[in-house]
Structure 1
Amino acid sequence: MDGGSGLNIMYAKTLDEMGIDRTNLYPIQAPFHGVVPGFPGTFHAILGRPCYAKFMAVPNYTYLKLKMSGPRGVITISISFCRAYECEVKCCGHATAVIASEELATLREKVIKEAPDAKKSFGSFESVEGPKKVLMDPISS
């Protein structure tokens, strides 16, 4: 659950494990930023605000529950705190491995080469006309 994110991401492995053939995927109007191939994650999917709105789901981060309307009443998805902690530890280890990866090092080098020179001046932010008086409260003037 990532209520602070505008992204909805599902890993290709998740689709495979659900038995969904990738030829069944088709474009929709709701923002869905794709299936992530070849990049392992610690989650099955990351669901953000657009998904919650679409399914009228309500996440509760304190109790690690997600509730949404279903055909036979409210559907509640939950996880144990121990399992959530295990996932967090795994995610931190995964993030550390990604940061140390050769692919990320190559990307860093490319960005550094293409970055503009910080010492080079691109212009000034000084006003051409000088300071200008602005009324804050027109009633008191």
Structure 2
Amino acid sequence: MVLDSTFSTERRACRFSRILIDGGSSINILYRDAMEKLCIKEKQLQPSRTVFHGILPGLSCSPIRKIKIDVLFGDKDHFRRELIWFEVVDLESSYHTLLGRPALAKFTAVPHYAYLKMKILGPKGIIVISGDYQKSVACAAASSRLAESLVIAEEKRLLDRVVAMACKQPDMSPNPQERL
């Protein structure tokens, strides 16, 4: 599910339109391009010891570092704001950020994936955030293409390594008797 949200730092606030809501993820991710849009400098980031899997198919990934950012859902008259920890990654993505279980728990959010809606309790009652089906499909397709190209690039790199190793091996006779 892809939703809109406002992110706020000491220097800047930005409204992001491609926030992936993923109740299956155990971390929150901020991609480098979103970090730059928020005018966050690397010196503002804190160390992180997290290693995670599943963002790139078959590969593990370590974040650059982590940061705490204000995330707001709702409008100027009725909103909810929470400070959320994000692992900052230097990866390409069709999304600005990924909000996983830690953020959903902090907001006590109830995502309804079939209806592309998320409900959270605000100061004046329930806030309903609606997603956009076409945006969700477009982001998913772009992510799929990106993941496929990354897997192909990794497979090509491994194949090149095998070919280079094979070229370094001395020629071997097909006859096992001659090898001794």
* Interval of TM-score (by shorter of Structure 1 and Structure 2): 0.5 to 0.7
Aligned-CA RMSD value? 3.1
CA distance in 2, matches of 1:100, 1:42: 18
Q: 1:85 to 1:55 in 2, by over 3 A?
A: same
The structural deviation recorded for 1:20 is 4.3
> Which residue is equivalent to 2:31?
11
CA distance in 1, matches of 2:108, 2:124: 15
Q: Which has the larger share of helix?
A: 1
The structural deviation recorded for 1:19 is 4.0
Please list every run of 5 or more consecutive structure 1 residues that lacks an aligned counterpart in the other structure: 111-141
The structural deviation recorded for 1:81 is 1.2
Give the alignment of 1:45-124 within 5 angstroms.
Answer: 45-102=97-154, 105-106=156-157
> Which residue is equivalent to 1:122?
none
Relative contact order (alpha carbons < 8 A, sep ≥ 6): 1 or 2 greater? 2
TM-score, normalised to structure 2, is 0.48
The structural deviation recorded for 1:80 is 1.8
Runs of at least 4 residues off by over 6 Å: 27-31, 107-110
CA distance in 1, matches of 2:115, 2:96: 20
Tell me if 1:34 matches 2:87. Answer: yes
CA distance in 2, matches of 1:68, 1:36: 27
Tell me if 1:2 matches 2:54. Answer: no
Q: 1:18 to 1:33 in 2, by over 3 A?
A: closer
The structural deviation recorded for 1:93 is 0.8
Aligned length: 107
Q: Is contact 2:45–2:67 with CA below 8 Å preserved after alignment?
A: no
Give % identity: 35
The structural deviation recorded for 1:8 is 1.2
TM-score, normalised to structure 1, is 0.60
Q: Which has the larger share of strand?
A: 2
User: One-letter code of the match for 1:41?
Assistant: S
SS of residue matched to 1:3: coil
CA distance in 2, matches of 1:28, 1:45: 13
